[in-house]
């Protein structure tokens, strides 16, 4: 075998090994994307799907985010809706109360700058962008207190913006909801 032959055969070997690796890499990547698509469609786990807008300079005057409508409400079908707003530097309500093992819809927005809601120990995590409504579906499997910090820089007081979520027994929540109105930790 001449030197020329060795050279060209080594080029072929190199190219073949390289091609195999590239194919493996492409398979890994397509696998990941398919997995995400499957989980998104089949288990309905995906980021917020819809875009809804609201005017932050008028939310305190009318619409679903007026003060009297903030807090938790038991819907006719047994689900719970929580409405909250973030503003420099607190959430309203500062302590959210919800029942355990219940499908909950969190609807929230910001009254001023960009904030975020994160409930520690869960994967509830959403941005609050003024002008837009954030919606998250959640369900708590355990009763107890959860910390709910603002997770986005909202100016100097950001480090002090911590809310709370109190997850209570289903019957207790139903009992409190009987009197109507919007529930929060206040009065408990």
Partner 1 sequence: MLVNRKLILAHFWFAFAVFGVALTLGAWQMFIRSPIGTWLSNPELYYRSLTAHGTVMGYVFPTLVAMGFGYAISESALEQRLVGVRWAWTGFWLIVIGSIMAVIPIALGRASVLYTFYPPLIGNLFYYLGVVLVVVGSWIWVALMSINLRVWRKAHPGAAVPLAMYANVAGSYLWAWTAVGAALELLLQIIPVAAGLKNTIDAGLARIFFSWTLHAIVYFWLMPTYIAYYTIVPRAIGGRVYSDSMARISFILFLVVAMPIGIHHTFADPQVGAGFKFIHSAFTALVALPTLLTVFTICASVEIAARLRGGRGVFGWIRALPWDNPMMLALAFSFVMLGFGGAGGLINMSYQLDASIHNTQWITGHFHLIFGGAIVIMYFAIAYDLWPHLTGRELIDVRLIRTQLWLWFVGMIVTTFPWHWVGILGMPRRMAYFDFGDPAIAPQALSVTFSAIGGFILLTSGIMFIVILARGMRAPLAEAGAYRFAVAVHQPTTVPVALNTHALWVALMIALTITNYGYPILNLATTAGTSVPAVYVGAQ
Binding interface with partner 1 (CB under 8 A): 11, 14-15, 17-18, 21-22, 25-26, 28-29, 32-33, 36-37, 39-40, 45-53, 55-57, 88, 109, 112-114, 116, 118-135, 145, 147, 149-160, 162
Q: Beta 52-53 vs 104-110: how paired, if at all?
A: unpaired
**Residue closer to partner 1, measured from CB, 164 or 176:** 164
For residue 166, the minimal CB distance to partner 1 (Å) is 13
- Minimum distance from CB of 4 to partner 1 (Å)? 13
- Closest to partner 1 by CB, 46 vs 174, is 46
Q: Pick the closest to residue 136 from 170, 103, 159 (CA basis).
A: 103
Nearer to partner 1 by Cβ, of 112 and 172: the residue is: 112
Structure tokens belonging to residue 165: 């979520």
- Least Cβ distance, residue 147 to partner 1 (angstroms): 5
Q: What whole-number distance in Å separates Cα of residue 28 and Cα of residue 32?
A: 6
Give min distance, CB of 106 to partner 1, in A: 12
Query: What is the signed CA dihedral for 124, 71, 186, 151, rounded to 10 degrees?
Result: 30
Least CB distance to partner 1 at residue 25 (A): 4
> Which residues does residue 178 pair with via DSSP β-bridges, in sequence order?
none
- Comparing CB distances to partner 1, the nearer of 8 and 175 is 8
Distance CA 59, CA 183 (A): 19
Residue 147: how many CB atoms within 10 A of its CB?
Answer: 12
């Amino acid at each position: 075998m001449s030197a020329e032959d060795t050279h060209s055969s080594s080029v072929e070997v190199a190219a073949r090994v390289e091609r195999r690796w590239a194919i493996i890499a492409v398979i890994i990547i397509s696998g990941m994307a398919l997995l995400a698509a499957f989980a998104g469609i089949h288990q309905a786990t995906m980021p917020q799907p819809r875009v809804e807008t609201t005017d932050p300079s008028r939310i305190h005057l009318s619409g679903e985010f007026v003060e009297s409508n903030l807090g938790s409400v038991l819907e006719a079908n047994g689900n719970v809706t929580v409405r909250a707003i973030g503003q420099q530097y607190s959430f309203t309500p500062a302590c959210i109360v919800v029942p355990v093992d219940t499908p909950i819809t969190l609807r929230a927005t910001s009254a001023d700058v960009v904030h975020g809601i994160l409930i520690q120990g869960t994967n509830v995590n959403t941005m609050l962008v003024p002008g837009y409504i954030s919606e998250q579906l959640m369900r708590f499997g355990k009763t107890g207190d959860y910390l709910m910090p603002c997770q986005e820089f909202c100016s100097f007081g950001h480090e002090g913006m911590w809310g709370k979520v109190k997850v209570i027994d289903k019957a207790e929540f139903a009992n409190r909801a009987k009197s109507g109105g919007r529930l929060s930790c206040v009065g408990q």
